[in-house]
Amino acid sequence: MSEPPANVTTITEFLLLGIPDDQALQTLCVTLFLLMYLAALAGNLLIITLTTMDQRLQAPMYFFLRNLSLIDICYISVTVPKSILNSLAHSRSISFVGCAAQVFLVIVFAGTEFALLLVMSYDRYAAICHPLHYEAIMSRGACVQMVMASWFSGCMYGSLHVAGTFSVRFCRSNVVHQFFCDVPSLLALACPGDQVLESAIIIGSCGFGFVCFILMVVSYGHIFSTVLRIPSAQGRFKAFSTCLPHLTVVTLFLFSGIITYLAKNLTSSLFLKVIISVLYTVLPPTLNPLIYSLRNRDMQKAVGKILARSRNIFHLNM
């Protein structure tokens, strides 16, 4: 058996150095993180409340949207609160177990969201291309099974990556140049040659993700060809309007991740890498509720109803 490298270190904690040391920049980052986190919580909790209480929002599309909002709350809560607390406490540390849990949860929620977006594209395909069979295809039981399959695939995806990432030996420092524990930053600390397993898992995951992306493209190809055959302009607009929010969210989610990992390889600025990482960890959970609310009339009516009810209660109490 070959001897392990002499400079292998036993790491019990990591130091997260994503937030800059400059006090003014640190305050700015913490403030922006806090505002975006509160906006994400408020927006997603509002969608969960509306799709649970409003009887007009009980279609399968809103059932999936409610689960997407739940995932987004969990997704952003894994990274941002820890970063804010560390900055306020003037601490940079995260335990080895905490770092592993953060890697696992980030990938679980990201993988589950991607799988759920695929399910939501199938829902739009069934609604527009097979409207007469829609209720049979997207029955309550089928919707629950699809959501469970999304969570299961996310958990499997997270388990594989955390096993691959933490099977390596760390030969470099324990400094993670990121505001949370992510796979690329941790692999940069690994001993040479120890990244083979995780690299294979990443390649396999990218291949599977590409297949899912092709399935989404095929679904929307059928959707657009069906919509274009609708004789009335109003009918075409209504069909497109039901797809546009989902298409926007998919584009935001996929391209933020692609841009992030491309930019990480193209830029050497650590601060720029951290800013770019915000694209796929903070921005989608914050913007998703806004995208769905702005383009959906039923959601707008439900929000209007709540606001009107709040005004009536306020006037009664005056």
Q: How confident is the model at residue 255 (pLDDT cuts 50, 70, 90)?
A: confident
Give pLDDT tens digits for 110-146. Answer: 999 989 989 998 998 898 888 889 899 999 999 999 9
DSSP one-letter string for 212-244: HHHHHHHHHHHHHHHHHT-SSHHHHHHHHHHHH
CA–CA dist 226, 176 (Å, integer): 49
pLDDT in tens, 14-64: 888 777 777 777 788 888 889 999 999 999 998 998 888 878 888 898 899
Number of domains into which the chain is organized: 1
Q: What is the pLDDT of residue 146?
A: 94
Nearest to 278 by CA among 100, 36, 47, 107: 36
Residue 316: inside a domain: no
The confidence band for 1, taking pLDDT boundaries of 50, 70 and 90, is very low
- What's residue 2's pLDDT? 44
Nearest residue to 253 via CA among 209, 299, 312, 297 = 209
Which residue intervals of the chain are DSSP H helices? 23-53, 60-88, 96-129, 134-137, 140-165, 183-187, 196-228, 233-266, 270-281, 283-295, 297-317
Is the pLDDT at 104 greater than 50? The verdict is: yes
The pLDDT-based confidence of 281 (bands split at 50, 70, 90) is confident
Its domain, for residue 278, covers 13-309
- 130 within some domain: yes
Report yes or no on 36 lying in a domain.
yes
Count of residues for the chain? 318
What is the domain-level CATH number for residue 256?
1.20.1070.10
| Residue type for position 233 | A
Average pLDDT in the chain: 82
Domain contains 3: no
pTM: 0.86
Report yes or no on 315 lying in a domain: no
Q: Are 108 and 155 contacting, i.e. CB atoms less than 8 angstroms apart?
A: yes
Instruction: Report residue 95 as tokens.
Output: 């335990």
In degrees and rounded to multiples of 5, residue 176 shows phi and psi of -100, 115
Residue 66's pLDDT band (boundaries 50, 70, 90)?
very high
Residue 4 belongs to some domain of the structure: no
The set of residues, in sequence order, having a beta carbon less than 8 Å from that of 191 and lying 6+ positions away, is 5, 8, 168, 169, 170, 171
**Residue 6: inside a domain:** no
CA 6 to CA 313: how far, in whole Å? 70
Specify if 317 maps to a domain: no
